[in-house]
Amino acid sequence: MLLNFDFDGVVIDSFERLLAQCRAAQFELDDGQPPTAEDFRTIENLTFADLACRLGMSTENGARFESLVYQIQEADPSTCPLVPGIGSVLRSLAESHIITVVTSSDSAAVEAELSRHELGWPVVARVLGPDFAKAKRDRIQQARSAFSFDRGETYMIGDAISDIREGRAAGVMTIAVTWGFQDRTLLANEEPTHLVDHPEELLELLQVE
C-alpha cells in the first residue's frame, strides 16, 4: 500500500516550534493577530495561507506570510523529537509499504529533519511539500502516479481535519491520529476510515507483523 503521512504532529512533536515560527513571521509582517495554540487546534484547513486569513492578514501579506514561514523553517537548524514510537513504526511499515510525507511545511526542511532522525530513504520514499502542488489532494495523486497505486491501495494519515478532507477529496482511505495537533472529537466528526490513538496501532491496522 501507499501510505501518505502528514509530518508536523504526526511524525515529529513540533507544535511549539511551528507555533513560534508562525509567530515570528507574523511579528515581522506586523499584520493581523499573533497566532495562538487555539488557532492550530481548531482551524479547519491547517495551512499557512488559511492561518494568515484566520489571523486577519491582508491578501498580500497572506502570501508573504506563507513564504516567510518557509524561509524561517529552512534557516532553523533545530530538531524536534519524534513522536514516541513512530520511528520504529515507520521503519516496520516501510518493509512492506511505500511511505511518503505529504506536508504543509517546507520540503527541504522536512527532508533534512527526516535525515537527522535516520528516516530518509529507504524509509520515507518521497517528501511532497507545497512546492509540488498547492493542495494535498493533488500531491496524493502525484504520489499515486509516481508509485503506481490505485485509490483503494492508498491512505492519507494525518492529525488535522484538513488532512482527512484532503484524503477524501483525493478518493483515498484516511487514518486520523489523535496524538497530534487536533483533538479526537474534531477528528472523529470527520468520519475518517480509521481513527487511532497510538502509533503502534498502525502496525496492526496495516497488517505488519
Question: How many C-beta atoms lie closer than 10 Å to residue 195's C-beta?
Answer: 17
CATH superfamily of the 2-13+83-206 domain: HAD superfamily/HAD-like (3.40.50.1000)
Q: How high is the pLDDT of residue 208?
A: 62
- With beta carbons less than 8 A apart as the criterion, state whether 166 and 12 touch: no
Give all strands of the β-sheet with 173-177 in edge-to-edge order.
126-128, 98-102, 2-5, 154-158, 173-177, 194-196
Residue-level pLDDT, tens digit, the chain, 209 residues: 999 999 999 999 999 999 999 999 999 999 999 999 999 999 988 889 999 999 999 999 998 999 999 899 989 888 999 999 999 999 999 999 999 999 999 999 999 999 999 999 999 999 999 989 889 999 999 999 999 999 999 999 999 999 999 999 999 999 999 999 999 999 999 999 999 999 999 999 998 64
Residue extents of the structural domains in the chain: 2-13+83-206, 14-75
- With beta carbons less than 8 A apart as the criterion, state whether 182 and 133 touch: no
**Collapsing DSSP states into helix, strand and coil, what is residue 157?**
strand
Q: How high is the pLDDT of residue 209?
A: 47
**Euclidean distance between CA atoms 14 and 201, whole angstroms:** 21
Q: How high is the pLDDT of residue 196?
A: 98
